[in-house]
Structure 1
């Protein structure tokens, strides 16, 4: 017995009982078995095929990368399985593009009609302001489909994910997510970001409460106010911007702007910290059925610096690739790289044109494309895989014995797959 209890007979009454029932089995560890070498060659091969096919192969490329990541993730030693295919993604993309083309076309016709009706009376300040507003209306018209695409992409990915032969699934409730996401976004904007935890929690709860593993449903527990500790770096960044900014205005001492720059840079870390900490907090409060729980412990600093240093390393490698092509191309053209920059339009003088010149120019174009391609490949190696590995190994499953009682669910058929996500470029993440 501790000295606190022996010296104070009322101490035990003031203690909060934090004991919980012991789990029926040790926490299940999650393993990550991916390696840089095999992933690099896979990413390079699929990127080259995407380039050769003018982007047509990208649906199969994303599928093959995803299959690799899924098979490298092994909860309890059993690898996960991704059963999606590129043809589903291609057909979904074509359906989404056709729908969006018709929808946006009709919307533009409506805008033109409204513009002619409303703005035909003059070209004053009000008319010009209305023109700007109507010009941004197309973006507003696409926003609901961005949220729709996010939900549908998640539903497709989970419906094509299996573990131990049992499928995951998500209820068909995309439009319910759309209007909730719009309303919560408006509330967050009007509150100047102070109600961001409310938006994060309720949208996550909407998705998790409609997610299944086999015939067992996930549940998101907790309260949205639990996410406020994840906001602390946002508050620090805001204080570094607002406080010195007021001093600049009141005292005309621009030296305080230095701190505003620090605050602006701090927002980048605040964003990463919030994403990781909110994932950890919400992850610890998720349940599968009545018995299975989770422990998540990703570290925000590690994720942030992996992104920063990984992006710098990927940029450096991509720059070296372009430099190599540039060196060879300039030699064929009989010029140095500085000469190319100095000549400008004179570079294409008829006196300078030759077969070697055109060959060198082609190498420059190929080098630029190779730079973009290699940046994507090195980004997967230096950013995507390390971040995924960190999240996987820092997650544990509680009461994993209860997973043996879960039975299979029927397969979800989704005609458009991730089509809207690909068409709107919101499904690029693995």
Structure 2
């Protein structure tokens, strides 16, 4: 245990180790038509978790690819039944996909069906988000002690929909409220061993973190409106560009500063507190440098691919254009594999490392009093998150 009573986060992962791992995972995922992704995601998580260190002890990820795959199969069956019931209800209401698309009424009915199905999936999407976080908590250990999270996925889904509607009717003004309340809902149900996390603070404090989001939206809307009134396409274009860039930077600023505020107002047990000091500038720099590296690599690949493609076309002749098409598909898949691996190595990992190395645990001596937590039950291994494609890379 740290003699100073605090633990500073460390990240020991390297690009040289992660890049070949990411490439092999992507290739095996393509070869197996996507089936290997459950095992691949597990391998990447194990690497990132084991590279995260506090007080000399690395985190451990104990999830398996098999349980993720089985969870996915169960979720697919459940989704098929759920959507089947939704379609039956729509059919009884006189709505079906057998509409005449050559009429305005048919097009309107088809759009209505699409949006109804999307809204019908919203509860499951939020349910999956909570279950995915609970699974990762249940499969994470540090110093041999398990993290955990109570059941509460449907409660989270109901709250997420409610706060989403509040954000919508307030034209976005209340989105910090939803963000804070939903994060508090999850944090207050989380544990490390037998010690419970508790999220403090006030949701109104997040308006400071959100200021650049609102400014960016204001510049975008006001600039376009003024440009439209003045009938100036140039002014509208400049306002749209400035507003969009400001908005994107604002979202990064919000994510960074809301993370800092939530961490600094979170407590574990009665004594353990946290501070976080990531910076917006560093995160933006990571994204810019990563994007530039990826752009250079893509440009080189396009140049080499163009040369190979041209040579193949000249050598194959008219009768063998199918081989040229195969070469084009292969080059496209190679580009996708490299882009996915480079995103993980040059953007995702440095961003994770920045947040971890700027995270501190205070009153760490109290960790010695925490006892082991019982094994979680009823954890579905992110099946719905994978089925709904909201699991992300890690």
Distance 1:219 1:44, change over 3 A: same
Query: What SS class does the counterpart of residue 210 from structure 2 fall into?
Result: helix
Task: Point out the more displaced range, 50-59 or 246-255.
Answer: 246-255
The correspondence of residues 222-301 of structure 1 with structure 2, limited to 5 A, is 222-257=201-236, 258-301=238-281
1:129 Cα deviation after fit: 4.0
2:339 maps to 375
Q: Is the 8 A contact 1:317 1:378 kept in 2?
A: no
1:321 maps to 301
Q: Distance in 1 between matches of 2:222 and 2:310?
A: 52
Q: Does 1:105 align with 2:84?
A: yes
1:202 Cα deviation after fit: 0.4
1:338 maps to none
Q: Is the 8 A contact 2:5 2:365 kept in 1?
A: no
2:155 maps to 176
Q: Does 1:406 align with 2:370?
A: yes
Query: What SS class does the counterpart of residue 94 from structure 2 fall into?
Result: helix
Q: Is the 8 A contact 1:92 1:415 kept in 2?
A: no
**Residue 86 (structure 1) aligned to one of 46, 65, 68:** 65
Q: Distance in 1 between matches of 2:21 and 2:39?
A: 12
Distance 1:246 1:46, change over 3 A: closer
Q: Is the 8 A contact 1:185 1:199 kept in 2?
A: yes
Q: Is the 8 A contact 1:212 1:218 kept in 2?
A: yes
1:201 Cα deviation after fit: 0.7
Q: Is the 8 A contact 2:200 2:265 kept in 1?
A: yes
Q: Distance in 1 between matches of 2:176 and 2:261?
A: 11
1:383 Cα deviation after fit: 0.6
1:283 Cα deviation after fit: 0.8
Q: Distance in 2 between matches of 1:47 and 1:242?
A: 41
Q: Report the TM-score, using the length of structure 2 for normalisation.
A: 0.92
Greater Rg over alpha carbons, structure: 1
Distance 1:404 1:51, change over 3 A: same
Q: Which runs of 4+ in 1 moved over 6 A?
A: 123-127
The correspondence of residues 21-420 of structure 1 with structure 2, limited to 5 A, is 25-116=4-95, 129-257=108-236, 258-334=238-314, 352-354=318-320, 357-414=321-378, 416-420=380-384
Aligned length: 389
Query: What SS class does the counterpart of residue 168 from structure 1 fall into?
Result: strand
Distance 1:358 1:74, change over 3 A: same
Q: Distance in 2 between matches of 1:43 and 1:28?
A: 30
Q: Report the TM-score, using the length of structure 1 for normalisation.
A: 0.85
Query: What SS class does the counterpart of residue 79 from structure 1 fall into?
Result: strand
Q: Distance in 2 between matches of 1:383 and 1:264?
A: 21
1:132 Cα deviation after fit: 2.7
Q: Distance in 1 between matches of 2:374 and 2:294?
A: 42
Query: What SS class does the counterpart of residue 80 from structure 1 fall into?
Result: strand
Q: Distance in 2 between matches of 1:113 and 1:390?
A: 54
1:114 Cα deviation after fit: 1.7
The answer for unaligned runs of 5 or more in structure 1 is: 1-22, 336-346
Distance 1:406 1:363, change over 3 A: same
Question: RMSD across aligned C-alpha pairs, in angstroms?
Answer: 2.3
Q: Distance in 2 between matches of 1:35 and 1:124?
A: 58
The answer for unaligned runs of 5 or more in structure 2 is: none
1:239 Cα deviation after fit: 2.5
Cα deviation code 1:371-410 (max 9, x no counterpart): 1111111111101110000000000000000001000011
Q: Is the 8 A contact 2:134 2:379 kept in 1?
A: no
